[in-house]
Structure 1
């Protein structure tokens, strides 16, 4: 369940702990919490380094079975990790730097290579920093995160958190609220392979365990870009759809293998977006219904990407499919440690 938005959200964003529970105890600064909104108080109860930080679960698991029926996780093609993030003190005292990293929940698995995406900003392509670099500040009653490019200064995207709902966890992990497993990668653990469970279902949550549901919105139009065809690249020069056609009017029709359709010029509108001349599809693409296909003129060729409109609420498709939902689920440190201790692989 790797999500393009998550990795930019959690410190990556990839990101990423000390001990901590779900309470809003120590604010981590001398500033009073009396002027904070409920959303900001809930955010700090997780995000402050002194409270253990935020931990976003991500993963993909593949298995093999021996002739005797024994099941093992394939370490070369599996991962189960958290993207972790924290801030040193309350943003009420001024913008705070995000500390980011990753933690493998299973000692037998490695964290995969992370990419926090590429963005077109003011007519240039930037690679987001890995681990994520961000500045966290308060905007009214909300929490604003400005994510930076690898240059450490260019803002490539801004997210505004408007809702932070903390939920305490106690008792057996197997008896947790269904939303936590349905709407996060923790749901991978509910699979049973040849009758064998992936975690000890008699394990209980550690004292102080909690998760927080977060709703975020894009601030400003966002143009993500990526390779259109092989070869795959990671820098600020993605592979174009065409290196010889320089204008959008001459590019169409174009058959997109990614989208499984052939685009005509009339299927979108030509606009100026993120400082480039771009064709933006009239209809959305993808499972969340919030992204728009983009082809844009750049460096003498035509490149591709997708567009997220200003104000769009970030969404995730539940692990088993279905209607997209707006909450992202983060564990506190005690909950993360509980999951680590419960795994059977």
Structure 2
């Protein structure tokens, strides 16, 4: 039997990305039902549990056809949602965000989700999986405070300033180009030997829509990870780049295999970052969201990380590549059910 294989691109579930550093606790809500901002009204039209919640779609599909032309998706593929909702409006006070994951296809499983580690006030914290999040309404905006696995330390704060709802109707195949380009729905547009991954005659269910969200960081988000072997998957003790060099001045020059370059001391600035003495590169790393390489002193060694600076707009790289843009795309319940009914795997 002859098989032809291809791997469809992966779109990351950035709402789950754990970041860190310097964010403050939940601020509490300042809005009331009578004076919700347009952003808060749009947010609640999706996020309230009674409205079906918000659904962020992610996927990585490995597809093949047999010599007879039958299409199959590898069980190692993934096509799943991050489902989030609040039980009631944050006008009533800070609300917990309920987060779960579910496969869109009954033939596939949700992949293992990794813990991230962050620097906060001179210590390393692990994120909770699933995330523990508090939602509040400062001014006209929507704020999300992400907690560490201890359930109390805020490791990341995002401020949502724009929620633009786009209704969906007609054929799924005739959907707005921006949805196919910037959401894993776009994976379905790939074909193999003329075979489609979904029913191209399927239509969106009544009430289907997506919302485009613009969010910004509040406080520096400082991530850390294993710089060398052994790789660790949990806990708050990442493997250092050096366990014998204790000061940044003696660490450079340093050849980073991750970045493919040798850093000199003068390529960055030594600052206090999230309570740590850290070297932060002058030049951005080049991720979709602007971030910078970090090396920091801790426990007599030098550790690696990166930082997304205070006020940075979270950006998304389009599915097929290209210039990152500021919106993240979430489906409502009717749109998600439409996709579930249309897929062919």
TM-score (normalised: structure 1): 0.90
Residue 226 (structure 1) aligned with residue 225 (structure 2): yes
Q: CA deviation at 1:312?
A: 0.4
Asked if the contact 2:189–2:196 (Cα under 8 Å) also holds between the matched residues in 1, the reply is: yes
Residue in 2 that maps onto 1:126: 125
Q: CA deviation at 1:300?
A: 1.6
Alignment of 1:229-244 (within 5 A): 229-235=228-234, 236-244=236-244
What is the rounded CA distance, in whole Å, between the counterparts of 2:129 and 2:310 in structure 1?
A: 24
Residue in 1 that maps onto 2:12: 3
What is the rounded CA distance, in whole Å, between the counterparts of 2:326 and 2:36 in structure 1?
A: 23
Q: Which consecutive aligned stretches of 4+ in structure 1 deviate over 6 angstroms post-superposition?
A: none
Residue in 2 that maps onto 1:47: 47
Asked if the contact 2:115–2:233 (Cα under 8 Å) also holds between the matched residues in 1, the reply is: no
Higher deviation after alignment, 281-290 or 125-134:
281-290
TM-score (normalised: structure 2): 0.90
Higher deviation after alignment, 310-319 or 60-69:
60-69
Asked if the contact 1:170–1:204 (Cα under 8 Å) also holds between the matched residues in 2, the reply is: yes
Asked if the contact 1:227–1:238 (Cα under 8 Å) also holds between the matched residues in 2, the reply is: yes
Residue in 1 that maps onto 2:203: 204
Residue in 2 that maps onto 1:27: none
Alignment of 1:70-149 (within 5 A): 70-76=70-76, 78-149=77-148
**Runs of at least 5 residues in structure 1 that lack an aligned partner in the other structure:** 10-30
Q: CA deviation at 1:32?
A: 6.0
What do you get for the CA RMSD once the two structures are aligned?
1.5
What is the rounded CA distance, in whole Å, between the counterparts of 2:183 and 2:230 in structure 1?
A: 32
What is the rounded CA distance, in whole Å, between the counterparts of 1:129 and 1:282 in structure 2?
A: 31
Residue in 1 that maps onto 2:22: none
What is the rounded CA distance, in whole Å, between the counterparts of 1:286 and 1:4 in structure 2?
A: 18
Alignment of 1:251-290 (within 5 A): 251-288=251-288, 290=290
Residue in 1 that maps onto 2:5: none
What is the rounded CA distance, in whole Å, between the counterparts of 2:282 and 2:322 in structure 1?
A: 23
**Runs of at least 5 residues in structure 2 that lack an aligned partner in the other structure:** 1-9, 19-30
What is the rounded CA distance, in whole Å, between the counterparts of 1:56 and 1:150 in structure 2?
A: 22
What is the rounded CA distance, in whole Å, between the counterparts of 1:207 and 1:8 in structure 2?
A: 32
Deviations 1:66-117 (A, max 9, x none): 34343321112x1010101000100011000010011101111100111252
Residue in 1 that maps onto 2:189: 190
Aligned residues: 323
